[in-house]
Amino acid sequence: MFKWANLFRFRRDEYEKDFYSPNGKTTVHFSLKNGRITYSVHRDGKLIIWPSNLGFKICGERPLHENLSLVREHHERHEETVEMPWGEDQFIPNNYFEEAFFLSEKDGDGRIFTLRFRLFDNGLAFRYEIPPQPKFSQITIEDELTEFHINQNSTAYKIPAFEPDRYEYNYEKCSVSELIHSVHTPLTIHTPTGCYLSIHEAALYNYGAMTIKLNDNGSLTANITPLSDHTKAHVSLPFTTPWRLIMLADSCVELTTNRLIYVLNEPPHADFSWVKTLKFIGIWWAMYVGEWTWAPGDRHGATTEHAKEYIDAAVRLGISGLLVEGWNEGWEGDWLENGINNKFTVATPDFDLDAVTSYAKEKNIELVGHHETVGFIDNYEKQLDAAYRYYAEHGVHYIKTGYAGSQMMINGRKEYHHSQLGVNHYQKTVELAAKYHICLDIHEPIKGTGIERTWPNLLSREGARGQEYEGGALFPSHACFLPYTRLLAGGMDYTPGIFDLQNNVKRIATTLARQLAYFVTIYSGMTMAADRPFMYEDRFPEEFKFIRSVPNDFTKTIPLAGEIGEYYVVARKDRHSQDWYIGGVTNEYGRTVVVTLDFLENGAYDADIYNDSADAHYRDNPFGIEISHKKLGRSDTLKLHLAPGGGFAIRLHKI
Ligand code: NOJ
Ligand code: CA
């Protein structure tokens, strides 16, 4: 019988190998024993991932994890600096040792696959690569058996998977032993040995997203999101899984700038020099506070008249874009139920897209179009090409998409947003948008796995609880969890900058200074200044100056201080000037942080400091703010007070 393995002269039935990160701090031990493969990880000589199993169950076939032998091995040292077209850090080191193990079954059809590891100073990635082979070309994955065997006494920060609100939950601290129900990644964990790690994935294409849960052996295991037919993915070979990624750091603050998801994705295959980050206002929060509606009627928000007024306001405010939600047919009645009839090329009678887009063009304002699909993918995909072409023909270069609804409707069946079919739908929109030179901001998205490197037109996503949950469901601690968890998956459209903090319909649980801080602590390639223009122009013009100046494209990001769920302080340097921005947020407890400015370049800076006043409090005195101006340099140190639910924002303008 033909056996692939026979092609290889080298063959080992038992094998062990240690390989090291470039700085020698992390070691991976690979083992092939009794036909099974495992890996384990040491950091600073301490075991952090105990021997963990690898492999697959495949429908209608023998599982692909036993009776294996090693038929080839390849190793390589890679050293490179990746440049990102926009983002939090312009240059990202891509330095690793790669070890690829080519494995074959000893009997049966002798099926083969490769297990490829990349070991960086700040993390370990590995993936499975399955080539096409006789009698093995179309496969259905029943289960991926990848384990991350971690001390169960470690602390984890979780949001639940497979729940109706997708990723939109509050983070909870628990022990790894409690992860008996699936949770989403990035799953951040603090081990008793003092290591911080976050389990995530990179380059998620054509496969269900990985969730994590404790299995019966007490090991964390990949639980791939199922399809409605209860399988995990249908793929044709060759097939490569996403990278299974374990980010590693000695402190939680260091973890926040782990950018391995990007270097594990491919460079773009086309010219994306047309992509530009964007700051915008929106016909948006007025709907949340009940002044306007998405649906047509007396208080319809998306009218031609309102859009023109907001365009004029954007010009006065010095903001480049305007989002308009509720302009298209389909929002009447219960829009969640009725969303199945949404029309993406038909405007409501009171909204004239031609008039609005030509007015926007005249005023040099980018319109951000909106598609709320409510997860009715069958309805959306039928219109997809026409809908994107329609915007492109009107000179609209940005679209915010949305997938409200607890599940998607695909091919007439309910599927998870993060299933293989969901993943493939989101990818289709990214690629089609690229074809029409359109940038996307996806709400209710698939989590970020670094594909923005390959598809830079994917400027932002939501994918966590954002400010729309204010009014009771957003705790001050939430924004102090995000940098250590969700934001490890890339930028987020959190809709910052709500100044109307004591609105009776939606009370905001933050201080005013903290709303400015968000523009620094939560990165987004497309950032909405989310409140209505009058709050900026009439009520708080001084505070708004910070929003106008803060960029959303940075050369480098330096995390300065923090603790998971408690506080976070970060500095970022503008990519298009010599200026620096610093932001800090705290949970429901006030605190003082000391910021040493030694990361600045030589020379003097004009500093604008927006700080909670001594008596500010998110509940009783949210507007308590002090604005001061100083000359500062790299030998200076700042002592900053953060009120309960508060924060601060600083602009350092190089003189
Ligand atoms: C939820 C999104 O997160 C929000 O931004 C949007 O306004 C609504 N869906 C309606 O599409
Ligand atoms: Ca949402």
* Residue whose CA lies nearest to ligand 1 atom number 6: 402
For 630, the token pair is: 């100083």
pLDDT tens-digit readout, 68-83: 999 999 999 999 999 9
Mutate to test the pocket of ligand 1, among 468, 470, 492, 528 (most ligand atoms within 8 A of CB): 468
Q: Cα(404) to centroid of ligand 2, in Å?
A: 7
Instruction: Tell which atom from ligand 1 comes closest to the C-alpha of 400.
Output: 5
The Å distance, Cα 167 to ligand 2 centre, comes to 9
The residue nearest atom 3 of ligand 1, judged by CA position, is 443
One-letter-per-residue 3-state SS of 440-457: EEECCCCCCCCHHHCCCC
Specify the range with the lowest mean pLDDT, choosing from 144-153, 335-344, 431-440, 484-493: 335-344
Q: 241-283, pLDDT tens digit by residue? A: 999 999 999 999 999 999 999 999 999 999 999 999 999 999 9
Q: Which ligand is nearest to the CA of 327?
A: 1
> Residue 4: its pLDDT value, please?
54
When pLDDT is averaged across residues 181-193 and rounded to a whole number, the result is: 98
Q: Identify the active-site residue in 105, 325, 452, 468.
A: 468
Of the listed ligands, the closest to the CA of 284 is: 1
Give CA–CA dist 653/8, Å, rounded: 62
CA–centroid distance, residue 403 to ligand 2 (Å): 8
Which atom of ligand 1 is the closest one to the Cα of 284?
Answer: 7
142 catalytic per annotation: no
**Nearest CA, atom 10, ligand 1:** 372
CA of 444 to the centre of ligand 1 (A): 8
Question: Regarding beta strands 439-442 and 398-402, do their DSSP bridges make them parallel or antiparallel, or are they unpaired?
Answer: parallel
Rounded to 5°, the CA angle 286-618-504 comes to 35
User: Which percentage of the chain shows pLDDT scores above 90?
Assistant: 96
Least confident of 3-12, 220-229, 511-520, 583-592: 3-12
On the CB side of 103, CA atoms within 13 Å amount to 30
Ligand 1 midpoint to CA 288 (Å):
10
- Segments of 169-277 assigned E as strands: 172-175, 187-190, 196-202, 210-214, 220-224, 233-236, 239-240, 243-249
Binned at pLDDT 50, 70 and 90, residue 1 comes out as very low
pTM for the structure as a whole: 0.97
Which ligand 1 atom is the nearest neighbour of the CA of 444?
3
Choice from 372, 373, 474 to test ligand 1 binding pocket (greatest atom count within 8 A of CB): 372
pLDDT of 6 reads 58
Question: Ligand 2 centre from 43 Cα, in Å?
Answer: 38
CA distance 265 to 453: 6
| Ligand 1 cavity residues, CB under 6 Å | 325, 372, 402, 404, 443, 462, 468
Give the mean model confidence (pLDDT) for residues 294-303: 97
For residue 2, pLDDT beyond 70:
no
Q: What is the 141 CA–ligand 1 centroid distance (Å)?
A: 34
Parse the chain into domains and list their residue ranges.
11-263, 278-546
Choose one of 288, 325, 467, 493 to mutate for the ligand 1 pocket test, by most ligand atoms within 8 angstroms of C-beta. 325
pLDDT of 466 higher than 90: yes
* Closest ligand to residue 330's CA: 1
Residue 7 confidence (pLDDT) = 60
User: Which band of pLDDT confidence, cut at 50, 70 and 90, is reported for residue 39?
Assistant: very high
Q: What is the mean pLDDT of residues 154-182?
A: 98
Q: What is the distance between the alpha carbons of residues 347 and 264, in angstroms, rounded to a whole number?
A: 41
More confident residue, 335 or 276: 276
- Nearest residue to 301 (alpha-carbon basis) of 320, 326, 321, 266: 326
Residue 394 Ramachandran class (φ > 0 left, ψ -120 to 50 alpha, else beta): alpha
User: Is the pLDDT confidence value at 487 over 70?
Assistant: yes
Ligand 1 atom closest to 443 (CA): 3
Q: Which residues surround ligand 2, an ion (CB under 5 A)?
A: 443, 462
Among 483, 439, 482, CA closest to 464? 482
If one residue of 289, 338, 399, 443 were mutated to test the ligand 1 pocket, choosing by the most ligand atoms within 8 A of its CB, it would be: 443
Instruction: Check whether the bond before 533 is cis (ω within 30° of 0).
Output: no
CATH number at 11-263: 2.70.98.10
Contacts of 434 (CB under 8 A, 6+ apart): 270, 272, 455, 457
Q: What is the pLDDT of residues 351-365, one digit of tens each?
A: 999 999 999 999 999
Average pLDDT of the chain is 97
Ligand minimally distant from the alpha carbon of residue 495: 1
CATH 3.40.50.150 is right for the domain spanning 278-546: no
